[in-house]
Structure 1
Amino acid sequence: MVDLHQIGIVFGSLTPPEALPSGARLAEELGFGELWFSEDCFFTGGMSGLTQLLSSTSSIPAGLGLASVMTRHPAVLAMELAGIARLHPGRTRAAIGLGNRHWLEQMGLLPDRPLTTVAETYDAVGRLLRGDAVDTPTSQHHFDDIALAFPPQSPPELWIGAVNERALRLAGARADGVLLSVLASPTYVRWAKRVIASGAQEAGRPVPRVTAFALAAVDDEERRAVDAVRDAVGFFVGAEAHTALVTRSSLASEIAERRATGGAYAVPDHWVRDLAVAGDPDTVTERIGALLDAGADSVGLWLFPPERLSVTMRQLSDSLAGPAVAEG
């Protein structure tokens, strides 16, 4: 049985900014365990999105997933997170990571040493949030006696968004939590959790919490649900084919063979079923359970189609936790 508190709702590029408050409030009322805001360039800014989620709700934790280490100076990132954490103590978390390579290339911001930049930024942001002064330049950013004027009394959780082995090991060794990208199949999550645990063991610390994002659609008619996420699965398979999300999945060989033929190709149903959470309520419950059994502590659902967001959240809540909240 899946506990509704192990399920989060992901907001981001599919949700217009003005729809965030009502969506966040409904997710909290229905009993979901966490909210996430995905900063996708060039849709809605992560800080304004995260602030909307937190200011529209009363107790549910909300996270930014993720903030690129290149689109803001670490001191500015820490300053923004500190203000949000002071306004919403104990509820704020933020995952940092490299971010989408294509977007970084569009802005001329792709670093030469991505993993080093992630590690250095993580350490600098963490020190600033704890009230320390940072005076040591990193490979990518300059610091000259920088300290926050208003560090939070309770620093927000600082997570790392990771995909491949070295980044997962780094996250296990340092982060408060680890955020896994969409396309995180049970096979991938099982492998990633082992790598994260290995990094934590080497650092002599507990294994951090792991949240897996998932493209998701729920419909009494399974075909409609599968079709709702098919294009998104195809897009991300193309974008992530070179990463462990695909190469460590059970579909690795099949996807490689299909892509090697070149040209356009249809995304088969079984790819959607393995790489997303789609189907009728019972099937979706089973798929979420498989991700949790594989090692995720929670699953963040990026719900499709966007125009059915409220309906889908109510359907999930009703099937997992009893009758949904009545329309207000």
Structure 2
Amino acid sequence: MVEHHQVGIVFGSLTPPEDLPAGAALAEELGFGELWFSEDCFFTGGMSGLTQLLSSTSRIPAGLGLASAMTRHPAVLAMELAGIARLYPGRTRATIGLGNRHWLEQMGLLPDRPLSTVVETVDVVRRLLAGDAVDTETRQHRFRDIRLSFPPAVPPELWVGAVNARALARAGAVADGVLLSVLSSPAYVRWATSLVAKGAREADRPRPRVTAFALAAIDDDAGRALDAVRDAVGFFVGAEAQTALVTRSPLAEEIARHLSADPDAAGGVRPADHWVRELAVTGDPGTVTARIDELLDAGADSVGLWLFPPQDLGEVMRRLAREIGRVH
């Protein structure tokens, strides 16, 4: 049986900024275990979003998922996180990763060695948050005797957002937690967490906590639940078709055949019902509960639900709290 702290709520690109405070407060009131803010370009900034989640709640941990290693200089990222962590000690998490390649290409910020850039950014941000002076050069950034004037007494947890094999193993070696993207099927979560554990073992440290994001809809009408997330699943399938999120799923060959027959579908597809069932959390309360159980049994420590339809966020959260015997 899943404990309440294993279910979180993801806010982000589909939530207007002015609705974040009420949504966060409701999620805490209903007993959900954690909050996440997903910074998607070009919707709502991650730092302002994370701050709104924390300022509107009193106990629940809140995380940024994720800050791109390229869109902010690590010294600026550390400075911003230090201020948030000083205001909300012990409740702040920040995930660092590469970010969406298309958005980085739009901004001319795609690095030559993405994984090295992420790992180096985590190291520098952690040192700065600890109060150390940093005087070094990484592959992407230069630091000349930089030290934070107000490092936090309780540094925020630094997580890594990882998708593919090498990144997952490195995350296991260096991160306080690992964030898995939407489209994380049980098969993918099992594979990903095994790599995180392998990286942790090789670094002689405990396996970090793993949270899997999931597109989710709950409705007595299973077809209506599928339709609520279908477009989002289709968008991410098109965007992630070449990554392990798709290639390590049971649908890999079928999706590859579909995309090869229709090259234009890489910008988004209309997924069949069984695709949505495999790559999202949808259905009636019993089915949603069982699906979350599958992700947890596969190795995730918690599941962050990105709820649909977004215009009914409060109602959907209340229904989850009322009907699924896992929160409140």
Instruction: Indicate the TM-score class for this superposition, using the shorter chain for normalisation.
Output: over 0.9
Q: Is residue 63–residue 94 contact of structure 1 (8 Å, CA) maintained in 2?
A: yes
State how far apart, in whole Å, the 1-side matches of 2:234 and 2:96 are. Answer: 25
| Pairing of 1:10-25 with structure 2 (within 5 A) | 10-25=10-25
Unaligned runs of 5+ in 1: none
1:2-34 per-residue CA deviation (whole Å, 9 max, x = no partner) reads 222211000000100000000000000000000
Q: Is residue 3–residue 326 contact of structure 2 (8 Å, CA) maintained in 1?
A: no
| Pairing of 1:127-142 with structure 2 (within 5 A) | 127-142=127-142
1:221-274 per-residue CA deviation (whole Å, 9 max, x = no partner) reads 111110000111111000000000000011111111111111555311000000
Q: Is residue 4–residue 317 contact of structure 1 (8 Å, CA) maintained in 2?
A: no
* Partner AA of 1:217 in structure 2: A
Q: Is residue 32–residue 327 contact of structure 2 (8 Å, CA) maintained in 1?
A: no
1:78-125 per-residue CA deviation (whole Å, 9 max, x = no partner) reads 000000000000000000000000110000000111111001101000
Asked whether 1:235 is paired with 2:235, we answer yes
Q: Is residue 82–residue 152 contact of structure 1 (8 Å, CA) maintained in 2?
A: yes
Match of 1:290 in 2: 294
State how far apart, in whole Å, the 1-side matches of 2:5 and 2:274 are. Answer: 28
State how far apart, in whole Å, the 1-side matches of 2:154 and 2:129 are. Answer: 9
Instruction: Determine helix, strand or coil for the equivalent of 1:144.
Output: strand
1:108-159 per-residue CA deviation (whole Å, 9 max, x = no partner) reads 0001111110011010000001111110111100100000000000100000
* Partner AA of 2:138 in structure 1: T
Unaligned runs of 5+ in 2: none
Match of 2:215 in 1: 215
Q: Is residue 95–residue 160 contact of structure 1 (8 Å, CA) maintained in 2?
A: yes
CA RMSD, 1 decimal: 1.1
Q: TM-score, normalised by structure 2?
A: 0.97
| Pairing of 1:117-196 with structure 2 (within 5 A) | 117-196=117-196
Asked whether 1:310 is paired with 2:314, we answer yes
Match of 1:58 in 2: 58
Match of 2:29 in 1: 29
Match of 1:39 in 2: 39
State how far apart, in whole Å, the 1-side matches of 2:314 and 2:16 are. Answer: 14
Q: Is residue 31–residue 327 contact of structure 2 (8 Å, CA) maintained in 1?
A: no
State how far apart, in whole Å, the 2-side matches of 1:319 and 1:94 are. Answer: 31
**Bigger shift: residues 109-118 or 265-274:** 265-274
State how far apart, in whole Å, the 1-side matches of 2:137 and 2:72 are. Answer: 15
CA displacement at 1:322 relative to structure 2: 8.0
Q: Is residue 5–residue 34 contact of structure 1 (8 Å, CA) maintained in 2?
A: yes
Q: Is residue 303–residue 309 contact of structure 1 (8 Å, CA) maintained in 2?
A: yes
Asked whether 1:273 is paired with 2:244, we answer no
Match of 1:103 in 2: 103
* Partner AA of 1:171 in structure 2: A
Instruction: Determine helix, strand or coil for the equivalent of 2:286.
Output: helix
Match of 2:324 in 1: 320
Instruction: Determine helix, strand or coil for the equivalent of 1:271.
Output: helix
Q: TM-score, normalised by structure 1?
A: 0.97
